């Protein structure tokens, strides 16, 4: 490591070491940690300068991501000490450790995308089915639902064959029943938001 880089890193480490004892615990409904406003301002400058320093001098090192992720967490003594420990590790072992996430990322994209897509589709389908069932139960009596099931059973479960008879059966329940079911489905917030 070049002397000027080493000196800058040592200065960043020292600044954080001196700042951590200034962290104060505030107690309200929950305990949380804060710096005095002037110290917090210096911390923010230090944090952003350190991010930049690491990107310039340790480009591609996987621990830069750790540093950045830790910066994004709430300020706590552990969080502040972890930032310090990461910098001390850069000082002690200055060799760049390649970021394997980038290498493996393309292999994982298809898997994560597929899982996410499947989960989203399943959740969406379950929600749509629940909306439909609720609309039917709101408008039809138990005996009317049984009559609809019987129509499908008469066609041995063939929904396409049963469709015209189902429509006739729903009409026989009264002219407003079908329109009420449809209105309940359309005005459900989850369905309405999809209609755009």
Lowest-confidence pick of 9-13, 23-27, 102-106, 109-113: 102-106
Q: Which of 59, 92, 125 is the last residue of a domain?
A: 92
Does residue 157 sit in the same domain as residue 77?
no
Question: What is the CA 190 to chain-centroid distance, rounded?
Answer: 20
Q: Give the model's pLDDT for residue 6.
A: 94
**Most confident residue range from 76-85, 169-178, 183-192:** 76-85
Asked whether the beta carbons of 151 and 169 are under 8 A apart, the reply is: yes
Does residue 66 sit in the same domain as residue 121?
no
Q: How far apart are CA 171 and CA 34, in angstroms?
A: 67
pLDDT at position 111 over 60: no
- In this structure, is residue 31 part of a structural domain? yes
Q: Give the model's pLDDT for residue 70.
A: 95
Give the chain's domain count.
2
Asked whether the beta carbons of 84 and 17 are under 8 A apart, the reply is: yes
Percent of the chain with pLDDT over 90: 42
Q: Give the model's pLDDT for residue 113.
A: 54
Q: Which of 92, 126, 156 is the last residue of a domain?
A: 92
Q: How confident is the model at residue 26 (pLDDT cuts 50, 70, 90)?
A: confident
Does residue 87 sit in the same domain as residue 156?
no
Q: How far apart are CA 183 and CA 117, in angstroms?
A: 29
Summarize pLDDT for 145-183 with one digit per residue, the tens: 888 889 889 988 888 888 888 888 888 888 787 887 777
**Domain residue limits at 142:** 116-195
In terms of residues, how long is the chain?
196
Q: What are 106's strand-pairing partners?
A: none
| Mean pLDDT for all residues in the chain | 83
Does residue 20 sit in the same domain as residue 81?
yes
- Decide the pairing of beta strands 31-34 and 24-27: antiparallel
> Position of tokens 């049984």?
146
Does residue 64 sit in the same domain as residue 12?
yes
Q: Is the pTM of this model over 0.85?
A: no
- In this structure, is residue 165 part of a structural domain? yes
Does residue 68 sit in the same domain as residue 141?
no
Question: What is the CA 130 to chain-centroid distance, rounded?
Answer: 24
- In this structure, is residue 10 part of a structural domain? yes
- In this structure, is residue 69 part of a structural domain? yes
In three-state secondary structure terms, 56 is helix
Q: How many other C-beta atoms lie within 10 A of the C-beta of residue 86?
A: 19
Phi, psi of 33 (to 5 degrees): -110, 140
In three-state secondary structure terms, 25 is strand
- In this structure, is residue 64 part of a structural domain? yes
């Amino acid at each position: 490591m070049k002397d000027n880089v080493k000196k800058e890193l040592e200065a960043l480490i020292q600044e954080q070491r001196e700042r951590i004892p200034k962290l104060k615990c505030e107690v309200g409904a929950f305990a949380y940690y804060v710096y005095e406003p002037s110290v917090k301002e210096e911390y923010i400058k230090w944090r952003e300068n350190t991010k930049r320093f690491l990107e310039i001098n340790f480009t591609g090192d996987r621990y830069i991501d750790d540093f950045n992720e830790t910066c994004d967490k709430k300020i706590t003594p552990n969080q502040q000490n972890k930032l310090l420990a990461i910098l001390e590790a850069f000082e002690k072992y200055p060799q760049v450790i390649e970021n394997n996430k980038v290498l493996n990322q393309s292999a994982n994209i298809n898997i994560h995308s597929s899982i996410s897509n499947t989960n989203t589709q399943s959740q969406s389908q379950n929600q749509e089915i629940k909306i439909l069932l609720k609309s039917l139960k709101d408008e039809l009596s138990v005996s009317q639902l049984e009559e609809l099931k019987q129509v499908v059973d008469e066609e041995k479960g063939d929904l396409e064959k049963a469709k015209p008879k189902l429509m006739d059966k729903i009409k026989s329940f009264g002219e407003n029943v079908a329109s009420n079911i449809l209105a309940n489905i359309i005005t459900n917030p989850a369905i309405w938001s999809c209609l755009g």
